[in-house]
A and B are shown apart, each in its own frame.
Chain A
């Protein structure tokens, strides 16, 4: 058998070319929004003295969890500051938060659409599988083509990689609202929007929060990869340490990511638990 190879690579590249040539203004606009959000957050986080930010996090941890969580937050953030990684860690946090916020803004409505339509769900399920299993490095190339080097393509590829859990769990959370409750809302004459905002979303909140938690964790796992295309932050330190073979520096930067991950994870989990308790 000697069938000719399907020129898939050529096709993909010509699609990429076409998009680049024809949708340039759109990409510039997206770039502006994402770049603006990251830089805004970054300025905010690094504009105030580290101790103020640390205090804010500790208070939040105290408020959401117990003193143990507050203590861990305090020590963890002080270690980061002590290692001299405060600045890059805050840059990373800005990137992760931006990716998470945009994932929620896009992902929750898509999840709602999927929950209300089996067709949409059938379209999105394989798409989400694809997005999650395609090696994340592959996203870097088109992201760079469309958005050039820097933090924006980093955020974009983080979003592609990290948005699926938010969509999936929003869909799931709404579908899990007991049929009887939906019937009750209908029986009293709710409009679809009233049903969504007064019943389905409030009940789905714990599940949606679990999705957002996973989205944050996944985008944090993207920071090192994103640093390869010029996204600044603590990932950059890891990447540089790897290329230069400096284990110690790599470990320090890695530790900062771990601490940040644990704090973000515990904080969002506490939010999930609180919303669960309420409903």
Chain B
């Protein structure tokens, strides 16, 4: 179920913002409206629906309206028109008290430059949201400590923010956002101010936290790699409008227009494509067949080895033509001659990890899903083709699984 849903959510800056709405509906561009009416379009009729438990990434270059859009979601910036439904109730109709409750209980926020209160210690920062709700001191301290532990900073509770590194400060920011256990967490370029290595760590940790806590996260970024790494859904913004919404693969493989295409053309595909995109159909034989059948199969299909599986496609091993021939001579079964050590990987592993693995392996890599079933095989050539940017055909192949 959608936890947060925006309908024609619009923000116009200027003296008489309502004036621009009919112009937007006529489809005028941001530039044209600015020229004709001196009004600036912040967010233009944004439509999206965020599922509970999703990481929804809003991506765009600076000035695209993404930071404005995220602030419309907790009304730090008051939308001009439109609807915003939180679990079905309209956020824009809340009175100040209801809005405060919404912000206190349901929607947390993490800021780009951390925005920690310099006069408060780490733990006092984290418990701020609880303190203003009037939760008594002992209880809120406990909750804040729990949150601090979650981000791995136990022991720093009495430090002041300026005593911590950037990465640590943002962990505190994250802990503060999580302390009152909101359903939704807004993250406004939360990792953009961190250096690249720390940033990657934080992304990993966020994904880990996400699996544990099942929050709905709205993540703003200008970095496509980051968006592709953590997003379940990505909304791409330009000039205040959402240009395309889709999964990372959809954005990459089926760009909605030239803008998206230009945006994604420099993406390092190896960090996005997974084994399931590059894999091919595996040639298999069930274990109860004899070596003679195996050799016949290989001849028919023009291959020199077969994966041995049981009837439910669970991978058991690999048999080569030499193995089969030897088994035939000694009248043995396939299970006696097959190689049981076969390189395997999961459908979700990224091609760049796979590439390293394949560098020193003679055999292709078998792709095994969670239940142990053989889904396909990745050969070196396919990985290279994917990395060369020939992604479209791969995606089609990958989706047919």
A145–chain B nearest beta-carbon distance, Å: 46
* Known contacts A188-B129, A190-B132; A180 and B104 CB within 8 A of each other: no
Q: Give the chain B neighbours of A186 by CB distance below 8 A.
A: 76, 103
Assess whether B118 is in contact with A203, with CB atoms less than 8 Å apart. Answer: yes
Complex Cα spacing A191 to B76, Å = 13
Interface segment, one of B108-116, B143-151, B393-401: B108-116
Complex Cα spacing A109 to B119, Å = 22
Interface segment, one of A6-14, A194-202, A238-246: A194-202
Complex Cα spacing A8 to B124, Å = 58
Assess whether A187 is in contact with B103, with CB atoms less than 8 Å apart. Answer: yes
B233 at the interface (CB under 8 A from A): no
Interface size (B, Cβ < 8 Å)?
A: 27
* Known contacts A183-B115, A188-B103; A198 and B76 CB within 8 A of each other: no
B224–chain A nearest beta-carbon distance, Å: 25
* Known contacts A180-B111, A180-B113, A194-B132; A187 and B74 CB within 8 A of each other: yes
* Known contacts A183-B76, A198-B128, A198-B132; A189 and B101 CB within 8 A of each other: yes
B139 at the interface (CB under 8 A from A): no
Select the residue from A188, A191, A199 with max chain B CB neighbours within 10 A.
Answer: A188
B376–chain A nearest beta-carbon distance, Å: 46
Assess whether B132 is in contact with A191, with CB atoms less than 8 Å apart. Answer: yes
Select the residue from A178, A187, A202, A278 with max chain B CB neighbours within 10 A.
Answer: A187
Assess whether A189 is in contact with B76, with CB atoms less than 8 Å apart. Answer: no
B117 at the interface (CB under 8 A from A): yes
A111–chain B nearest beta-carbon distance, Å: 19
B48–chain A nearest beta-carbon distance, Å: 20
B133 at the interface (CB under 8 A from A): yes
Assess whether B132 is in contact with A184, with CB atoms less than 8 Å apart. Answer: no
* Known contacts A183-B76, A184-B109, A198-B128; A189 and B119 CB within 8 A of each other: no
The residue on B at minimum CB distance from A195 is B132
Assess whether A279 is in contact with B109, with CB atoms less than 8 Å apart. Answer: no
Assess whether A180 is in contact with B115, with CB atoms less than 8 Å apart. Answer: yes
The residue on A at minimum CB distance from B99 is A189
Partner of A189, one of B71, B103, B113, B116: B103
A23 at the interface (CB under 8 A from B): no
Assess whether B111 is in contact with A189, with CB atoms less than 8 Å apart. Answer: no
A44 at the interface (CB under 8 A from B): no
B23–chain A nearest beta-carbon distance, Å: 28
A26 at the interface (CB under 8 A from B): no
Assess whether B103 is in contact with A184, with CB atoms less than 8 Å apart. Answer: no
B250–chain A nearest beta-carbon distance, Å: 31
Complex Cα spacing A199 to B76, Å = 17
The residue on B at minimum CB distance from A184 is B115
Interface residues in A234-279 by Cβ distance below 8 A to B read: 278-279
Partner of A188, one of B104, B113, B119: B104
A-B contact count (CB 8 A): 61
Interface residues in B165-179 by Cβ distance below 8 A to A read: 176
Complex Cα spacing A268 to B352, Å = 63
B7 at the interface (CB under 8 A from A): no
B100 at the interface (CB under 8 A from A): yes
A55–chain B nearest beta-carbon distance, Å: 33
Assess whether A188 is in contact with B76, with CB atoms less than 8 Å apart. Answer: no
* Known contacts A180-B111, A183-B76, A198-B128; A189 and B133 CB within 8 A of each other: yes
Complex Cα spacing A190 to B99, Å = 10
B275–chain A nearest beta-carbon distance, Å: 40
Partner of A279, one of B74, B103, B111, B119: B119
The residue on B at minimum CB distance from A279 is B119
A209–chain B nearest beta-carbon distance, Å: 14
The residue on B at minimum CB distance from A190 is B132
* Known contacts A183-B76, A188-B103, A189-B132; A199 and B115 CB within 8 A of each other: no
A181 at the interface (CB under 8 A from B): yes
Q: Give the chain A neighbours of B100 by CB distance below 8 A.
A: 189-191
Assess whether B115 is in contact with A188, with CB atoms less than 8 Å apart. Answer: no
* Known contacts A180-B111, A203-B119; A187 and B133 CB within 8 A of each other: no
* Known contacts A186-B76, A188-B103; A181 and B132 CB within 8 A of each other: no
Partner of A187, one of B101, B109, B112, B119: B109
Complex Cα spacing A165 to B76, Å = 32
Complex Cα spacing A185 to B76, Å = 10
B222–chain A nearest beta-carbon distance, Å: 17
0/1 interface trace, chain A 65-101, chain B, CB 8 Å (1 if under): 0000000000000000000000000000000000000
Complex Cα spacing A203 to B101, Å = 26
Complex Cα spacing A183 to B100, Å = 13
The residue on A at minimum CB distance from B105 is A189
A64–chain B nearest beta-carbon distance, Å: 20
* Known contacts A189-B104, A191-B100; A184 and B111 CB within 8 A of each other: yes
Assess whether A278 is in contact with B119, with CB atoms less than 8 Å apart. Answer: yes
The residue on B at minimum CB distance from A194 is B132
A278–chain B nearest beta-carbon distance, Å: 7
Interface residues in B251-276 by Cβ distance below 8 A to A read: none
B192–chain A nearest beta-carbon distance, Å: 13
The residue on A at minimum CB distance from B124 is A198
Partner of B117, one of A181, A189, A278: A181
B25–chain A nearest beta-carbon distance, Å: 30
A-B contacts, 24 listed (Cβ < 8 Å): A180-B111, A180-B113, A180-B115, A181-B115, A181-B117, A183-B71, A184-B111, A184-B117, A187-B74, A187-B186, A188-B103, A188-B132, A189-B99, A189-B101, A189-B102, A189-B103, A189-B104, A189-B133, A191-B100, A191-B132, A198-B132, A199-B117, A203-B118, A278-B119
Going nearest first, the 7 A-B pairs with the smallest beta carbon separation are A189-B104, A189-B103, A188-B129, A180-B115, A184-B115, A187-B109, A189-B100
Excluding A189-B133, A190-B100, 6 further A-B contacts by CB distance (< 8 Å) are A185-B117, A188-B103, A188-B108, A189-B103, A194-B132, A202-B119
